[in-house]
Structure 1
Amino acid sequence: MSIKDNGAMASLSDGWKIGIWTAFVTAMSVLFSWALACAAPFVAIAAIAALTLSRANAFLLVGVTFVINQAIGFLLLGYPTTAESFGWGAAIGVAAFAATFVTTAAMRKTDDLRVAGAMGFLGGFVAYELVLIASTMVLPAGGGFSLAVIGEIFWINALAFAGLLAFRWLGQTIGLLAADDRQVLAA
């Protein structure tokens, strides 16, 4: 942080802004994992990470949130320690990374962040669900892919994404985030 000559606090450096945002999204992932268990909104996290972080840092953030989610599930929420449960955990991790790949790719397609955010979120959701559906070829599905369940997962992710976007806007408004941190991180 720098201090202006008049003693008032100036804006945070870009490194601090990135750290604050990353810590906030990570903290939200803990709350999502605790409250939603296996319905943690990885697509929303991937999309907001792609909007605010470099590609490498978006993958890192999604990876960290996935590990946190699995740790909370197995250590605190009592996920069964079976081959099937570990298999679905791995499938969810692959799906989260697939969503991150698609959301970060969408960010390179347009300079309009609203369009990129919408494209990234929707494309990320499709990628996420396709990986999970493909996983049923080797893992038992257990009825988790009805239209009602997929719709519920979509709305959980959509609401989480909207909430994260609102916090991003607030962070920009009060100076905790730059208007487009991706430009800072790409340099």
Structure 2
Amino acid sequence: MNDRNVQREGALQWGWSAAIAVAAVAGSVVTACMMPFVAVAVMAAATLRAPQAVATVAVAWAANQLLGFALMGYPMTDYALGWGLALGAASMAALGIAIAILRRGVWDARLVLAALAGFGGFELLLYGYAHLAGGLGTFTPAIVGQLALNEGLWLAGLLAARALLHRAAPGLVPALGMGAR
């Protein structure tokens, strides 16, 4: 691979990374701050190399926190800040799970498994944190089910957007499996 191809692939990776993060953060405003942390992690794992995937998840998380604290009036308390950090850690855990599952290739069954396992790990980590900090009341079946549906719909939407962009301009977005290499 020559230098020009390496530069092009790097720009492609960072452009797609930004698109995932911006879409998720903008969309979370529309959906009452139900940020699709796991969907972002799985999509990043499926299409981006590890450094860009980590950066994508980190930027999406940081933008979500900035939006919440600066614009949505989240209280600047130890409790709120702690939950924000827990969300960041859980998002990175979901990314690690997705990368591990998708390492051998990306296809429908692996994407579903990565999403389910990533969501399970994400929720389990947050549930553990809730035992320490409080907030166990947010782990009812109805709430967790709503969050799972939100994540699934977001992942489907991100996959559809990637597929449409890939058909319209094949060189614009990375192929599925790009991150699994």
TM-score higher than 0.5: yes
* Whole-Å separation in 2 of the counterparts to 1:112 and 1:118: 10
The Cα of 1:180 is off from its aligned counterpart by 4.1
Matches within 5 A, 1:72-83: 72-83=67-78
The residue aligned with 1:22 is 17
- Give the letter aligned to residue 143 of structure 2: V
In structure 2, relative to structure 1, the CA distance for the partners of 1:37 and 1:66 (3 Å cut) is: farther
The residue aligned with 2:129 is 135
The residue aligned with 1:6 is none
Contact 2:97–2:117, Cα closer than 8 Å, also in 1: yes
Matches within 5 A, 1:152-171: 152-171=146-165
Greater share of helix: 2
Matched, 1:100 2:95: yes
* Whole-Å separation in 2 of the counterparts to 1:98 and 1:179: 23
The Cα of 1:38 is off from its aligned counterpart by 4.5
* Whole-Å separation in 2 of the counterparts to 1:31 and 1:172: 21
In structure 2, relative to structure 1, the CA distance for the partners of 1:39 and 1:20 (3 Å cut) is: same
* Whole-Å separation in 2 of the counterparts to 1:111 and 1:135: 32
Q: Which moved more, 1:151-160 or 1:25-34?
A: 25-34
Higher RCO (CA 8 Å, separation ≥ 6 residues): 2
Q: What residue ranges of structure 2 are gaps of 5+ in the alignment? A: 1-6
Give CA-to-partner distance per residue, 1:41-74, whole Å, 9 cap, x none: 1000000000100122111110110000000000
- Give the letter aligned to residue 139 of structure 1: A
- Give the letter aligned to residue 85 of structure 1: A
State the aligned residue count. 173
**Alignment partner of 1:13 out of 8, 14, 27:** 8
Max radius of gyration: which structure? 1
* Whole-Å separation in 2 of the counterparts to 1:138 and 1:178: 40
**Alignment partner of 1:179 out of 162, 175, 181:** 175
Contact 2:47–2:174, Cα closer than 8 Å, also in 1: no
In structure 2, relative to structure 1, the CA distance for the partners of 1:72 and 1:35 (3 Å cut) is: same
- Give the letter aligned to residue 32 of structure 1: G
The Cα of 1:76 is off from its aligned counterpart by 0.3
- Give the letter aligned to residue 173 of structure 2: L
**Alignment partner of 1:63 out of 28, 33, 58:** 58
Q: What residue ranges of structure 1 are gaps of 5+ in the alignment? A: 1-11
* Whole-Å separation in 1 of the counterparts to 2:112 and 2:71: 34
- Give the letter aligned to residue 87 of structure 1: G
| Cα RMSD, aligned residues only | 2.0
Q: Which moved more, 1:139-148 or 1:119-128?
A: 139-148
